[in-house]
Amino acid sequence: MSNTNDKMPEQLTSIAEVEDARLARQEEKSKSQGRIVFERFIKHKPAMISSAVLVIITVVAFTSIGYGPLPGWWDKSYLAAGQVVDGGRPTMSLWPTWLGGSGFAIGEHPFGQDSIGKDYFALVMNGTQKSIIIGVVVGLVATFIGAVIGAVAGYFRGWVDEILMRMTDLFIVIPLLVLAAVLGQMAGASSGSIITLALVLGLVTWTGLARLVRGEVLSLREREYVAAAQAMGSRTGRVIFKHLLPNTIGVIVVNATFAIAGAILLESSLSFLGFGVQPPESSLGLLISQYQNAFTSRPWLFWWPGMIIVAIALSVNFLGDGLRDAFDPRQSSRPRRRKLSLLNRKG
Amino acid sequence: MSTEATENFALSFQDLKVTFETEARDVQAVKGLSLQVRPGEVVALVGESGSGKSVTSTAAMGLLPGNANITGEARVGNVNVVGLDKGKMRKMRATDIAMVFQEPMTALNPVLTVERQLTEALELHGIAYGKEATARAVELLTMVGIPQPEKRIKQYPHQFSGGQRQRIVIAMAISCDPKVIIADEPTTALDVTVQAEILDLMRELKDRLNTGILLITHNMGVVADMADRVAVMFQGNLVETGTVEQVLLKPEHEYTQRLLAAVPKLEQVALTTTGLAHDSMTAAKDRELVLTAKDLVLEYDMRGTKYRAVEGVSFDIAKGEVLGIVGESGSGKSTVAKAVLGLLPVAEGSLLVKGNNLPKLSPREAREVRKTIGVIFQDPAASLNPRFPIGDCITEPMVVHKVGNKASRTKRAQELLDAVKLPRNVINRYPHELSGGQRQRICIARALTLSPELLIADEPTSALDVSVQAVVLEMLQDLQRDFNFACLFVSHDLAVVDMLADSVVVMQNGKSVEQGRVKDVLHAPQHDYTRRLLAAAPVPDPHQQAVRRDAWRILNSQK
């Protein structure tokens, strides 16, 4: 068992000296709060697995069919119709022969084909791209708006707070799906671009974060370092952006991940209802909507996009869990200390 | 061991060791402690932060968290509670061992009436039920000196004052006649005058009920006032035990000696005789005034209604002088500091910093004035931005006022670190890597960055350990001599003000009751309130403290 106290010089008899000696002897590299959080985060297994899953999905989605003018390694396009082979059944097989399968093979159409012979892998990858872009853009926009509105309301309080929070309430009481559907339709009709759709969704989903950040700022603004900054004559902007917002980063990052997961699901719902991404572009929700009747006859047309939505949403949520535990270990549901100590004893 | 077990101790520890497993490493908090408390005896367990004194008491209550490893014995009566199963431990709590906590506001449940909370233990342990329990609870409240107990028992904790709340917590602790009461810093959160009352109450109850008390405290004055025997802990070890006279008057271990030497003392106080009228503060000529407050009125806006926190306070501070403002909580002393810092608008009166009336300045002029004011706050844990490295914390005033470039700022930070005697490589460390005292020294460095002419120190040492406080105060004195700034020093501790300040303002309920030179006001007080404050502050000497206590009783009866 290592114990720093034992190494202290015995003759020290004042706590002030002990502390100073400890500081002077402190050799290990200084760690910032960010660094400590990062180290805790990489110890969080579900979050690390989820990160890997997310990275794989993202990389495959963007490199396989390429993005915009950039070509990908998958030779089929999601726009080109073709000959329907074997009723459009997936050609991918993962069961090894010794388990009674047909061995590992990707085949011509790994995810199968749709009714007019489009390669379903290319379609699903295109949909995944759209879902990821929407998730990230919505996450960024909603986080930015929410954080700024929350911080301003919490810092100034009084009538500024009243106005901003009543505005937030207004956004909250209108059903999100209705608001998003109407605005999404208008955005889709005017430009057809999914970025516009994402921006619009971002404009209606910032409310939760705004409330959380406001609460954090309300408590942080009473801290003495904020009073010290005000007393030395810092301008308001500096106090908010240098002293308050960086200290709410935990809340912001954690909720940004949940906002991304929420946005992907919201886009799926909108596209499913026909208010989101419009054909010939596709998105995961749109694919499910188009092939919902195929569920019994050609289930793969339903399963692939569905599974990917679930995979992305779950991973992002686990990632958020990991970040929350890293930023605030006290909230952790896992008995980490016990486990760690047992591991140490064995090792 | 068998011989010790035959004597009837209320509480005894035998070679108690407690180790905490943390994320990084194991921390041994208590390293083999042996200590006994007899019925009717008060044993004070004294130590600074990290000494393991609170861990010891928590171990006796069986309340240590799951990551604690306990070996050795902690006996309550004849039962060893180390490793005792939860059901049996629960039966012992309240009836054998009870606790008085530090913070009476959080120790009581705000949504339950006092009656519910007092009868809870009685009913759980089957001592009394229903009306009988309520009658017993009323009796308990009478014992702890709550007026009109029949009526007040129906009230909620927030309807009582801080001192009364602590009385209720004590009533809860004695409700089931425990063999031993653990009082963990029972008066630390209270004002001195209230502290004196609570100590009086505990002394009286102990004699009446013949319970043993393990008193955990860092305050040597409280020890001198209450304890029969004293045990001193340092870094998890018991370094000295003995009777209160032995330990406080003839300490043997070097740690105890230095600890006692570090306690600021306020001696030679004429509490009962009436001194001469104080001479005017402005007698000395050619003082270069830095801060002048005239008929200062400060108000808080509580949802539309104005609440006057400070009314008609006047004082001035010249270059090189230290003015202390003392008072209890709610006296408005910190409010004055806030107003000078511009964190609170001035309602009436004037506040002149080097001849500029602060309330009348434009924001731009006010910023220029701020440049000449440095500040140190109370809580070292909260006064540095946790995301800034120490270097950035210290040079922040330069960044705000656009002084210097990167190189000159780093140089200044290094100079200041030397001035507060911290190693230069701390510049890249973060506040959480430093102890409270070291952080407070960083705050001092930050306050001095722009070579201010006025330093506002709002209770800068009240969150620190005694020996750390001594280091910080000495440093503040040295720096004040070197840099010759004027200083407004707000404190509740009269001894600290006596040590540091030239003149003092005693505040009560927003008004100045007495002000003048320290040697007049604190050594020959004119006003009754100042006298009561002085008499209530305990001194770390059992004989002197007995004298003080009598003076306090007389003054209190005259009130």
Least reliable range by pLDDT among A276-280, B324-328, B438-442, B499-503 = A276-280
Look at residue A228 in the predicted model and tell me its pLDDT: 92
* pLDDT score for A286: 83
- pLDDT score of A342: 40
**Quick one: pLDDT at residue B278?**
57
Q: What is the pLDDT of residue A327?
A: 81
pLDDT in tens, A19-41: 888 787 776 667 777 788 888 88
Each residue's pLDDT tens digit, B156-202: 998 998 889 999 999 999 999 899 999 999 988 888 888 989 998 99
Look at A189-203, A225-239, B22-36, B95-109 and tell me which has the smallest mean pLDDT: A189-203
Which chain B residue has the Cα nearest residue A247? B387
User: Helix-strand-coil percent breakdown of chain A, rounded to 5?
Assistant: 70, 0, 30
Q: What is the mean pLDDT of residues A199-220?
A: 91
| Chain A residues touching B456 at Cβ < 8 A | 231
CA B480 vs. chain centroid, Å, equals 24
The yes-or-no verdict on residue B474 having pLDDT over 80 is: yes
A346 touches B at CB < 8 Å: no
Q: Is A2 in CB contact (< 8 Å) with chain B?
A: yes
List of domains in chain B: 3-111+156-258 (3.40.50.300), 288-372+486-526 (3.40.50.300)
Q: Which of A31, A232, A337 sits opposite B396 (nearest CB)?
A: A232
- When pLDDT is cut at 50, 70 and 90, the band that residue A191 belongs to is low
What pLDDT score was predicted for residue B167?
93
pLDDT of amino acid A339 = 41
Among chain A residues, CA nearest to B344: A231
Nearest to B50 by CA among B34, B28, B33: B28
pLDDT in tens, B224-283: 999 999 999 998 999 999 999 999 999 999 999 999 999 988 877 776 655 555 555 455
Does residue A254 carry a pLDDT above 90? no
- Strand ranges in B23-159 using DSSP code E only, listed in sequence order: 26-37, 42-46, 68-76, 79-80, 97-100
Query: Could you tell me if B324 and B489 are in contact, meaning their C-beta atoms sit under 8 angstroms apart?
Result: yes
The CA distance from B80 to B74, in Å, is 5
Chain B, 179 to 198: residues with Cβ < 8 Å from chain A are none
Residues of B in contact with A26 (CB under 8 A): 433
Which whole-number Å values give the CA distances from A75 to A59, A190, B447, in the listed order?
16, 32, 67
Which residues, numbered 204 to 233 in chain A, qualify as contacts with chain B under a Cβ-Cβ cut-off of 8 Å? 223-225, 227-233
Tell me what pLDDT residue A149 has. 95
Give me the pLDDT at residue B251, please. 93
Residues 6+ apart with CB under 8 A from A346: none
Peptide linkage before A280 cis (omega within 30 of 0): yes
What pairs with residue B514 in β-bridges?
B506
pLDDT at site B6: 52
The count of CB pairs under 8 A between chains A and B is 144
* Nearest chain A residue (CA) to B260: A14
pLDDT for A347 equals 31
Asked if residue A262 has pLDDT above 60, the reply is: yes
Query: Is B28 strand, coil or helix?
Result: strand
Contact A30 B373 (CB under 8 A): no
What's the confidence (pLDDT) of residue B229? Answer: 94
Q: Are B144 and B170 in contact (CB under 8 A)?
A: yes
In angstroms, the CA B95 to CA B179 distance is 7
Q: What is the pLDDT of residue A167?
A: 93
pLDDT-derived band of residue A176, with 50, 70 and 90 as boundaries? confident
CA A319 to chain centre: 7
Residue bearing the bigger pLDDT, A114 or B319? B319
> For position A291, what pLDDT does the model report?
80
Which of helix, strand or coil describes residue B506? strand
d(CA B504, CA B522): 8
Our CA-based measurement puts residue A113 at a distance from the nearest CA of chain B, in whole angstroms, of 52
pLDDT on residue A1: 35
User: Of B5-14, B43-52, B383-392, which range is least confident?
Assistant: B5-14
* Range in A72-81, A151-160, B520-529 the model is least confident about: A72-81
DSSP state letter for A30: P
Residue B70 phi, psi dihedral angles, 5° rounding: -115, 135
pLDDT at A99: 66
Q: Does B342 touch chain A (CB under 8 A)?
A: yes
Is it the case that residue B420 has pLDDT exceeding 70?
yes
Q: How far apart are CA A268 and CA A275, in angstroms?
A: 10
Give me chain B's average pLDDT, please.
Answer: 89
For residue A36, with 0-12 CB atoms within 10 Å meaning exposed, 13-18 middle and 19 or more buried, which class applies?
A: middle
Mean per-residue pLDDT for B375-383? 88
**Contact predicate A285/A223, CB 8 Å:** no
Q: What is the Cα–Cα distance from A38 to A35, expressed in whole angstroms?
A: 5
pTM for this prediction: 0.83
CA-to-CA distance for A257 and A135, rounded, in angstroms?
9
Nearest residue of A to residue B422 by CA position? A20
Nearest by Cα to A218 from A278, A283, A275, A151: A151
Please tell me the predicted confidence (pLDDT) of residue A341.
40
Task: Look up the ipTM and state it.
Answer: 0.83
The answer to whether the CB atoms of B382 and A246 lie below 8 A apart is no
Q: Note the pLDDT of residue A7.
A: 43
Q: What is the pLDDT of residue B293?
A: 92
Structure token pair of residue B186: 């029972």
pLDDT at residue A5, rounded to an integer: 41
Share of chain B above pLDDT 70, in %: 96
At residue A303, φ and ψ (nearest 5 deg) are: -65, -45
- The CA distance from A238 to A228, in Å, is 12
Alpha-carbon gap, residue B243 to B260, rounded angstroms: 15
Closest CA to B339 of B305, B364, B318, B309: B309
**Residues B502 and B295 sit within 8 Å (Cβ to Cβ):** no
Specify the pLDDT at position B274: 55
Q: Which residue has the tokens 């440093």?
A: B475
